[in-house]
Amino acid sequence: MLFSSRTKGHLIALMTVFIWGITYVATKVLLTDFKPIEILFFRFTLGYATLWLLAPRFFAWQGIKQELMFLGAGFCGVTCYFLCENIALTYTTASNVGVITTLAPVFTAILAIFFLKTEKPAKSFYIGCLFSMIGIVLITLNGKFVLSVNPLGDLLAVFACLFWACYSILTKRSSNYGYNIILLTRRFFLYGLMFMLPALYLFDFEWNLSRFNQPVNLINILFLGVGASAICFASWNYAVKLVGAVKISIYIYLVPILTIINAVVILDEPFTWIAAIGTLFTLSGVLLSEGKIKLKKH
């Protein structure tokens, strides 16, 4: 074997967050013609169809206990995480949401202590998280040292983190059954889309498929649906299976860095020295959490 399974898991996680780092750009383009709920529904419907093409075979009912776990994963990771994050952005600032989402790996680690007995993070993990949080704060604020308190929006952002942590734990436990990751991810998407249906009416969802006649809209929704949803969720779930929910969760901190790089290159947004320092803090935190930088013991 060229790589060990753990090394393979880390490489897959890196590839996944690289693609997720571009989703900001694609979503920003689509928001010109689409509401957030429309992007979300079209994205995961396309992702679900793509997973059928990748593995065109039926995934049988696995019993009430396992199906409830799959349902929980779809509810938390597909429906609630994205809805909470998108709704939060309508009540609070993007800066607040960016800073608050740094809690996701910490929540994952805390839940892992109770629900994944084999994954107990070391002290270096939490110190690395702290470094990464400082980095993300610097990147998100980008020199504008202003954070306003918006209780409803901020609370929704916290719930988004908690839902992602729950999704990570449920993904790890589901993967222990040994099912094909593509089939498993497709089941998560199915349940997530089912729970999303009531939200379509609450947020004035419009079909209006003619909007996809514009190549820029079609290309970006294909990227979000096929790449960022179908392929990336399957690859992320596979990485969690190989490495563990806690270790893989730390890669979430790399998404804002990759988003900034893509925004600078594609959208010509400015890159400040504050963002550069934040990037160094975040990368150091990730390496420390992953054990690539060792703490000296006295």
CA 5, chain centre distance (Å): 22
Residue 181 pLDDT: 92
pLDDT score of 41: 94
Instruction: Give residue 141's pLDDT.
Output: 63
Q: Which residues contact 77 (CB under 8 A, 6 or more apart)?
A: 163, 164, 166, 167, 170, 171, 188, 192, 233
Q: What is the pLDDT along the chain (298 residues), one digit of tens a residue?
A: 566 788 888 899 889 988 887 777 788 788 889 988 899 999 999 999 999 999 999 999 999 999 999 999 999 999 999 888 878 877 776 666 766 776 788 788 888 877 876 656 667 777 877 777 777 777 666 655 455 566 787 888 889 889 999 999 999 899 888 899 999 999 999 999 999 999 898 888 999 999 999 999 999 999 999 999 999 999 999 999 888 887 888 787 777 777 677 667 766 666 677 777 777 777 777 777 655 545 455 4
Question: Measured between alpha carbons, how far is 17 from 256 in angstroms, rounded to an integer?
Answer: 9
pLDDT the model gives residue 75: 96
> What token pair was written down for 229?
């949803």
pLDDT at residue number 298: 45
The reported pTM is 0.82
Strand, helix or coil for residue 79: helix
